[in-house]
Amino acid sequence: MKNIVLTGFMGTGKTAVGRELSEMLNMRLVDVDAEIEDSQKMTINDIFSIYGEKYFRDLETGMIKRFSGEKNIIISTGGGAVLREENMGALRENSIIFCLNASPETILIRTSRNSDRPLLKVEKPIEKIKELLNYRKPFYEKAGINIDTDGKTPLQIAEEILGILKCRK
């Protein structure tokens, strides 16, 4: 089986859906952000604060290249992974890519539970979400199979992905 990649903006459900799929398919879940934190022994917030976004994106690309060559895994990428074509090229080689989408309001609700969102540490996070979504929209649209996650549980989204995978066999 090809790898399953979950990409999309922060707060769209990549990690939670990845966990559901991992359990349903008995496949290992690789969360790229968690792998970066483990390898650097610091949080994404700290990496952004100390080294900047470019450094983080370079680490992200390295992790994506490392894991995209494996087989039979689920890869949950960071929300900005789609911005580098080399990331998407590496992922397309051995994976089916799903891009999870949500409205800015849903993203704000979901991300407000977590203070580890360096790009949202601003006065008006909803405006930042809209700005980033607008910029990234063309990247997300061509990333893979798009799935709307508004009003759905991670289990419902995972089942939707499984249905699509069965149709592609």
Query: Where do the structural domains in the chain lie, given as residue ranges?
Result: 3-160
Predicted confidence band at 59 (pLDDT cuts at 50, 70, 90)?
very high
Express each pLDDT in 64-92 by its tens digit: 999 999 999 999 998 899 999 999 999 99
CA 169 to chain CA centroid, nearest Å: 24
Residue 139 bridge partners (DSSP): none
Q: Which two tokens stand for residue 109?
A: 């609700």
Place of tokens 């990234």: 136
- Rounded-to-integer distance, Cα 122 and Cα 109, Å: 15
Weakest mean pLDDT among 92-96, 103-107, 124-128: 124-128
Note the pTM of the prediction, 2 decimals.
0.92
Q: Which amino acid is at 69?
A: G
Superfamily classification of domain 3-160: P-loop containing nucleotide triphosphate hydrolases (3.40.50.300)
Of residues 34, 13, 144, 136, the one with CA closest to residue 80 = 136
